[in-house]
Amino acid sequence: MRRCSWRIFLAVVFGCVVLGQTSVLRAQAVAPKDTGVKIDGEYGPFLPTDISVDGYQVDRLINVLHVFMIGLFVGWGLFFAFCLVKYRQRPGHRANSVLIKAKPSKYLEIAVAIFEAVLLFGFSIPVWARVKSEFPTDDPMRVRVVAEQFAWNFHYPGADKKFGKLNPKIIDLVKNPLGRMDDDPAGKDDFVSGEFHVIEGRSVVVEILSKDVIHSFFVPVLRVKQDAIPGMRIPIWFKTKEKTAGAYEIGCAQLCGNNHFSMRAVMHVDTPEQYAAWVKKVTAPPEEFKED
Amino acid sequence: MAQHQHKGGGHGHDHHHHDDHGAGHHELSYWRKYIFSVDHKIIGIQYGLTALCFLFFGFSLMMIMRWQLAYPNKPIPVIGSLFPSFFPGGAMAPEMYNAFGAMHGTIMVFLGVVPMLVGAFGNYVMPLQIGAPDMAFPKLNMMSYWVYFCGGVTMLASFFVKGGAAQSGWTSYAPLSVITQPHQWGQTMWLIGMVFLITSSLLGSINFITTIVQLRAKGLTMFRLPFFVWAQFVTSFLLLLAFPPLEAAGILQLMDRVAGTSFFMPEGLVVSGQMQSYTGGGNPLLWQHLFWFLAHPEVYVLILPAMGMVAEIIASNTRKALWGYRTMVYSIIFLGFMSFIVWAHHMFITGMGQKMAAFFATTTMIISIPSVVILTAMVITLHGASIRFNVPMLFALAFLPMFAIGGLTGLPLGLPVSDIQLHDTYYVIGHFHYVVAPGTIFAIFAGIYFWFPKATGRMMNEALGKVHFVLSFIFINVAFMPMFFQGLAGVSRRLADQTGYAHGNAVQGLTRMSSWGAWMLGLSQVPFIINFFVSMFAGRKVSENPWESTTLEWSAPSPPPHGNFKSTPVVHRGPYEYGVPGIAKDYFPQHQAGAEA
Amino acid sequence: MSTAVLPYTVEPHPITRLYSGKLGIWLFLASEVMLFGALFSSYVLLRVGAPVAGPAAWPAHAETGLSWKIGGFNTLVLIISSVTMVMAWAALKTHNIGRAKAYLATTVFLALVFIVVKLTLEYIPKIQAGHTPSHNNFFALYFTLTGLHALHIIGGIIVITYFIGPGSALWKTDPEYFTNRVECTGLYWHFVDLVWIFLFPVLYLT
Amino acid sequence: MQKTFRYGVLCAFAATLGLAGVVRAADDGVIKGKVIFKGDTDKFKRSPIDTSKDANCKKPIGSWDVILNKKTDPITIKNVVVSIKEGLGDKKFPPKTEPFKLTQKDCQYDPHIIAVMEDQPVKILNGDDTNHNIHFLPKKNTEENFSQPQKDEVTGKELKFKLEEPFKVKCDVHPWMGAHVLVFTHPYFAVTGDDGTFELKGLPPGKYVVEAWHEKFGTMKADVEVAAGKPAEKDFTFEPK
Amino acid sequence: MDHSHADTDKHVRLYLTVFAALAVGTVVTVAANQLHVEHALAIGIALGIATVKASLVAAVFMHLKWERSAWIWSTLALCAVFFVVLLFIPVLETSEHPPNVVVGTWDVLPEAHTEHAGHHE
């Protein structure tokens, strides 16, 4: 009877595993979705393509950590499994009340602590310092990103590299989504787009703003993420690698309302020529719209 | 009770309830006995059943959400057509997804797990384990339950008001939570419900601490307390000191919503192209600070009692003393203390400076050490043991690797640099669900199987229990393991449909796998539900100590009568004297007089 | 038989030297400290972080229109009520229930004076003058902090009234237990007074 | 007895017929006309809209706040709502039952003006391969805000507005998308189209105040007298500077 | 705390003394405020006196002066520690952003103080 129930049991387990595998197989068959622009880069169940010069530091930490985690887990799991098998209850076996020596565990804990300290002071704090305060001085592009429910606006300062003043009272969602002021000389050559264009191999300083709620500017391929907090302008920076021209995604990583899931924009990494052409197109005086 | 009862004199008894004071024990009405009871065991069971219902409800919400994630915008089978007002066209709208998500989190944390761990197990087991006749303030205890119940009802009612339930996540970040549904009641009811739940927890924690300090049996020193009691003790301090800031934050947000103040609203908020009339001058990050000041200790509220339960079960079923008991106690106290100064690691990407990030990353790394210590101690307990693989032990054993995964994956999130990529992705979801679902929920199952005979006098069925365990163990991993890969891929959490992103679409298969895992996990609970209710009436009858355990609760009859113990227990030794050499039986109960070990 | 007989409701525990109620109320007060602490913390943050100019700026003290006279009067009222509260407990210690009740009644009366003054001389005129909570963050904090404090006062009034009225029946069966309960209420009441001692300078004077 | 009854029925029938005739005759008053533009058309060119926020919105679209029908003579204005403002008394009208269809197509609203009666259902459909979030911003009616993530959603969503007022609608995903809702208590309203004309039909004879509303040019009122059987003509002329 | 009658009498005298001290403290606070000293100093004085007053209330009225229980003292100590931690929130939030973070989204803000009825129409 007892044996029988265990067989049923194993059969159930087997069934579950088969079912699990089928669902994985089904999973592969998700058709790519048309999102208007072909997105470059490789995406899968691990870290996506990295097109940023400094992104490897993030990847390196993540990889080192995972190796460490898996190593610890496997080692620990082997001991665990060994105990489960060796010390299972059986006739004639009684628990050994003589306690195990404390040393191995103490060494393990100390080792873990030291390793964490190394990760913290070696791989994390210096990188964070670089990312947060060593802003590029090599004539970076400056772009202002203004988040709103549920879209991204990219405000370019134009040739004078100065942003015009923004006034929330004159915002018009069709014609002046950021409330740029006509009488501000610094703002004369500014332009605003819904696409993010940067030049490959050139560092970019992005100032992040929000009109309404907290959003989060997330570019997976750049290893960049920064919350857009209303009432604050938070600058971040990144630099794309050479030869990375293409279209990539920008997402919102902080719940911002109904359409949080569709708050997506496209980042175009352009060659200098492509960028110039795009600027020309965007800044051209609008022609009259004629319905066909 | 005689030795604790202070003085003679006719008025010395029954101070609390002079109204019930009378000659002889008249029977209480049904209402006083089972509904508005002041007996900690009845209240514990009330808490337990209510929390189980909420856990099931919260899980159901998630199962519906998993459909939307796996098959975005496709009509939900059966349920979609049953509630057409919730699911227009049978499919789930993104705003409904957000509402379900917010309520899933809130219900699971505040209405399910905490009431289950603290309200149910704490209330039922802790007084028994310390040899107390009841909680220190029985009426307050009853009030805690009913305030919790009101909070739960408020939360559930919010689904049916205009605009639906709160949609801003369980974290309710301002300004989103203030400006969403401005004319509607969902978020406001969430806040009011939270005030109820906080009040309930505060009253409960006062009761727990007082009980543990004042009502321990004679001879039960602090270092003879079972580890579970220690866990409850630390947890109660966390609840007591961490919840009030959230209550304050809740009041401020309520003012922002109802009175139009600007505590969390900066100047010049433009929503939908319209200038808002808030005066401004507030700070959205204030909410986050106050929220996480609670919510990080809250994470430990979710895990410490679970660790305590697992420790009890492991000690009993390894027939061995808990290894490094004192170290574990110091660790848990340290853990509780440190949990108050790590909160800002949830806020690394809000624009934090170097010093602050370094400080909170360091405290976060430090807090991982005591967790490692506790886990290691529990594993080393297995060494040289004689392990009984009964159902509670299986769940308790599964807790260990599951909690290890949950804990380890916390590391990349605690370091600001790796957090840049992983923050608010599915990696976070995977991490804390591994801690709370296969961690805490498994501990809860272990606890239910373990203390069920104490509460009912009957055993739960072992075979059904094992089926329940194996299925749950497999599918909980199928459900949560893919999330780490989704997270690495960069898929943000709280997306109603990730397929719009190329990186989301690339791992949509994993999402489906996770969804199937979740539904199968739901099905896997059927054996448990059957087992639970059938065993209540038809389970094998057992004596007072079916597991041959040492702690005090097993010296009381099963189920314990009013006042708990037949005679006032006196404690002679530590909590885990198993396998003491020179004694025929392999366990030596705390209350048994005899040679000290 | 509804509750088990619990030890240490009246006499102190031999080791902890506490009766349970006292530990309970101190724990409660600890949580209250954290509640008001969070609000004070918010006050500091909002004040320090307020914009320098514009409608959201922190108002100069003169603009708030808060009168130190009313605030000072209420401070004194609360301090006196604290004294009468502790005197009531002292009277119970000397087994003089009549005097204790008189002191408790005085406490309730003073608390009511506090609430009436607050309502008629401050809240209503302020709101009529357009200084509603949404006017700016100073008034938002003013109304929230004092409102929450007033709720605590009202709670205290209810409890103390209960001990003057039906609650005092306990005196006949168990005077020590009654004294303990009044002491616990007193601890709460002094805490409410203590909060006001900080609220007064923070809101009315600076 | 039987006879009287028959006569009674007959008389009643005849009376009903007659009355109906009278009512029908009385309620076929018509006001018609056009909305004329006078001024510099160069100032009111339609400009193209930047739809770069969503790569799915590929079709070029233009601004709609002022659309002039340049082919008509004189030049007329599109999307002007002409309605009876005064003169109907306290009469109550049953709401129209056929739903007003509002489609989101090519990342703009079709039609741009949603003129409906109180309690008339408005059916909202998504005709695009992208997510839309329709956000009604009324002052008196309840605010509605929901998303429609999929093209040709199974049913679309139906709404009703209870109170008379004009208000804006916008899409929260595509901030440029805007439209106007005008809710009326009566069925006497019309929206000018590509020819700039309007016609209010089925009016009982009497004196009315007619209002023309344009989202940019504001409102204009005129007194019109409607006689039975003969259409009253009234043109509105907007002269924006 | 077991009091004899004589003890209680002593207490009552102490209570009245403390009351006098509190009243004087209140008067001094107000007076100092009227002196138009420097703002920061005025805040310092006011909070300082408030702390003294609060300590008196806690020590005498709340009987902490006679409190012997380690549990109460440790609860209070714990509470004090976390209270201080709470007060770090404004410190962190006002000083610990990277230097290049700017406060304020807009360059131009509404000047006029219009009616603020919240967002409710």
Question: Could you state, in order of their start, the residue ranges of all structural domains in chain A?
Answer: 141-283
| Percent of chain D at pLDDT exceeding 70 | 88
pLDDT at B593 over 60: yes
pLDDT of residue A22: 62
* The one-letter amino acid at B460: M
Q: What is the mean pLDDT of residues B557-578?
A: 89
Pairing of strands D236-238, D29-37: parallel
Substitution target in D125, D147, D173 with the highest count of B β-carbons within 10 Å is: D147
**Structure tokens belonging to residue B59:** 């899980």
Of A204-218, A265-279, B260-274, give the lowest mean pLDDT range.
B260-274
pLDDT at A168 over 80: yes
pLDDT at A33 over 90: no
Position A9 confidence tier, pLDDT thresholds 50, 70, 90: low
Smallest CA–CA distance from E115 into chain B, residue = B277
pLDDT at A76 over 70: yes
Q: Which of the four CATH numbers 1.10.150.120, 2.60.40.420, 3.40.640.10, 3.40.720.10 does domain A141-283 have?
A: 2.60.40.420
CA distance A145 to A207: 6
Residue C201 structural domain: 22-49+68-205
Residue B173 included in any domain: yes
Position C2 confidence tier, pLDDT thresholds 50, 70, 90: very low
Residue E120 included in any domain: no
- Partner-chain residue, chosen from A132, A135, A209, that has the shortest CB–CB distance to E105: A209
* The one-letter amino acid at D174: H
With an 8 Å Cβ cutoff, are B95 and D145 in contact? yes
Of B159-163, B295-299, B394-398, give the lowest mean pLDDT range.
B159-163
| C 148-177: CB under 8 A from E | none
Interface check for B187 against chain A (CB to CB < 8 A): the answer is no
Return the DSSP state at B425: B
Position E114 confidence tier, pLDDT thresholds 50, 70, 90: very low
pLDDT at B198 over 70: yes
Position D113 confidence tier, pLDDT thresholds 50, 70, 90: very high
* 3-state SS assignment for residue D197: strand
As for how many domains chain C has, the answer is 1
**Structure tokens belonging to residue D127:** 């005709």
Question: Which chains have at least 3 CB atom pairs separated by less than 8 Å from chain A?
Answer: B, D, E
Of A20-24, B181-185, B591-595, C136-140, give the lowest mean pLDDT range.
A20-24
pLDDT of residue C4: 59
pLDDT tens-digit readout, D156-198: 788 888 888 899 999 999 999 999 999 999 999 999 999 889 9
Higher pLDDT: B14 or A141? It is A141
Interface check for E90 against chain A (CB to CB < 8 A): the answer is no
* The one-letter amino acid at B104: H
Residues making up chain A, counted from first to last: 292
User: pTM for the whole thing?
Assistant: 0.91
pLDDT of residue D15: 54
pLDDT of residue A4: 55
Average pLDDT, chain E: 81
Residue E79 structural domain: 69-95
| E 95-114: CB under 8 A from A | 97-110
Position D155 confidence tier, pLDDT thresholds 50, 70, 90: low
Contacts of A135 in chain E (CB under 8 A): 100
Average pLDDT, chain B: 90
Q: What is the mean pLDDT of residues B511-527?
A: 93
With an 8 Å Cβ cutoff, are D154 and B91 in contact? yes
Higher pLDDT: A289 or C162? It is C162
| Percent of chain E at pLDDT exceeding 70 | 84
Substitution target in E28, E68, E69 with the highest count of C β-carbons within 10 Å is: E69
Q: What is the mean pLDDT of residues A8-28?
A: 61
**Structure tokens belonging to residue D93:** 């009208």
Say if C and D touch: at least 3 Cβ pairs within 8 Å.
no
pLDDT of residue A13: 64
pLDDT of residue B540: 94
With an 8 Å Cβ cutoff, are A179 and E106 in contact? yes
Where would I find the beta strands (DSSP E) of D99-156? 100-105, 108-110, 113-117, 122-126, 132-137, 144-148
* CA geometry: angle D144, D146, D147, nearest 5 deg: 155
Give the CATH fold of the D1-90+186-241 domain: Immunoglobulin-like (2.60.40)
CATH number at residue C174: 1.20.120.80
Substitution target in B71, B73, B497 with the highest count of D β-carbons within 10 Å is: B73
pLDDT at B10 over 50: no
Contacts of B511 in chain A (CB under 8 A): 27
pLDDT of residue A2: 52
Residues 6+ apart with CB under 8 A from A91: none
Residue B1 included in any domain: no
pLDDT of residue A155: 94
**Structure tokens belonging to residue E66:** 């006679």
pLDDT of residue A19: 65
Interface check for A63 against chain E (CB to CB < 8 A): the answer is no
pLDDT at A292 over 70: no
Average pLDDT, chain D: 84
With an 8 Å Cβ cutoff, are E50 and C201 in contact? yes
Name the nearest CA neighbour of A202 among A244, A145, A234: A244
As for how many domains chain B has, the answer is 1
List % helix, strand, coil for chain E (3-state, nearest 5). 70, 0, 30
With an 8 Å Cβ cutoff, are B355 and E105 in contact? no
Smallest CA–CA distance from D145 into chain A, residue = A258
With an 8 Å Cβ cutoff, are A232 and E103 in contact? yes
CA distance B307 to B399: 9
* 3-state SS assignment for residue B191: helix
Contacts of A83 in chain B (CB under 8 A): 379, 382-383, 385, 387
Position A24 confidence tier, pLDDT thresholds 50, 70, 90: low
pLDDT of residue D5: 58
Interface check for A63 against chain B (CB to CB < 8 A): the answer is no
**Structure tokens belonging to residue A161:** 């590299």
Same domain, E45 and E77: no
pLDDT at C76 over 70: yes
Q: What is the mean pLDDT of residues D43-59?
A: 87
Q: B467 near B391, Cβ under 8 Å?
A: no
pLDDT of residue B586: 84
Residues 6+ apart with CB under 8 A from B105: B169, B170, B171
pLDDT at B97 over 70: yes
* CA geometry: angle B361, B365, B371, nearest 5 deg: 145
Same domain, E6 and E51: yes
Residue D125 CA: distances (Å) to CA of A5, A35, B72, B496 = 56, 20, 18, 20
Contacts of E79 in chain B (CB under 8 A): 241
Q: Which residues lie across from D101 on neighbouring strands?
A: D123
pLDDT of residue D87: 86
Q: C15 near C8, Cβ under 8 Å?
A: no
CA distance C119 to C101: 27
pLDDT tens-digit readout, B414-462: 999 999 999 999 999 999 999 999 999 999 999 999 999 999 999 999 9
Q: Within a 13 Å sphere around the CA of B587, how many CA atoms are in the beta-carbon half?
A: 24
Give A229-283 as a DSSP string: -TTEEEEEEEEBPTT--EEEEEEE-S--STTGGG--EEEEEE-HHHHHHHHHHHH
pLDDT of residue E1: 45
pLDDT of residue D10: 56
pLDDT tens-digit readout, E54-110: 999 999 999 898 888 899 999 999 999 999 999 888 888 877 777 778 888 888 876
Q: What is the mean pLDDT of residues A215-236?
A: 93
pLDDT of residue B11: 40
Name the nearest CA neighbour of B322 among B551, B547, B544: B551
Q: What is the mean pLDDT of residues A166-191?
A: 88
Q: Which of the four CATH numbers 2.60.40.10, 3.40.640.10, 1.10.1840.10, 2.60.40.420 does domain D94-182 have?
A: 2.60.40.420
With an 8 Å Cβ cutoff, are C16 and B214 in contact? yes
Residue E118 included in any domain: no
Residue B224 CA: distances (Å) to CA of A95, B3, B395, B582 = 21, 20, 26, 22
CA distance B561 to B572: 23
pLDDT of residue B597: 44
Same domain, E37 and E86: no
CA distance E105 to A146: 9
Name the nearest CA neighbour of B37 among B55, B17, B65: B17
With an 8 Å Cβ cutoff, are A233 and E99 in contact? no
Residue C61 included in any domain: no
CA distance B166 to B168: 6
pLDDT of residue A14: 64
Q: What is the mean pLDDT of residues B374-383?
A: 90
Smallest CA–CA distance from B383 into chain A, residue = A83
pLDDT of residue B2: 36
Higher pLDDT: B144 or B87? It is B144
Substitution target in A155, A234, A236, A237 with the highest count of E β-carbons within 10 Å is: A234
Same domain, E85 and E37: no
pLDDT of residue B26: 57
pLDDT at A146 over 70: yes
CA distance B105 to B109: 6
pLDDT at C153 over 70: yes
**Structure tokens belonging to residue B307:** 């660790």
CA distance A13 to A185: 72
Please give the helix or strand (H or E) that residue B562 lies within, else none.
Answer: none
**Structure tokens belonging to residue A29:** 């068959």
Domain ranges of chain D: 1-90+186-241, 94-182
Interface check for B286 against chain E (CB to CB < 8 A): the answer is yes
Pairing of strands D81-86, D206-214: antiparallel
Long-range contact set of residues A76-81: C-beta below 8 Å, sequence gap at least 24: A76/B379, A76/B404, A77/B401, A79/B379, A80/B379, A80/B382, A80/B400, A80/B401
Q: What is the mean pLDDT of residues B344-350?
A: 91
**Structure tokens belonging to residue B288:** 């986050």
pLDDT at B299 over 70: yes
pLDDT of residue D41: 85
Contacts of E111 in chain B (CB under 8 A): none
Name the nearest CA neighbour of C203 among D211, B460, E47: E47
* The one-letter amino acid at B218: K
Say if B and C touch: at least 3 Cβ pairs within 8 Å.
yes
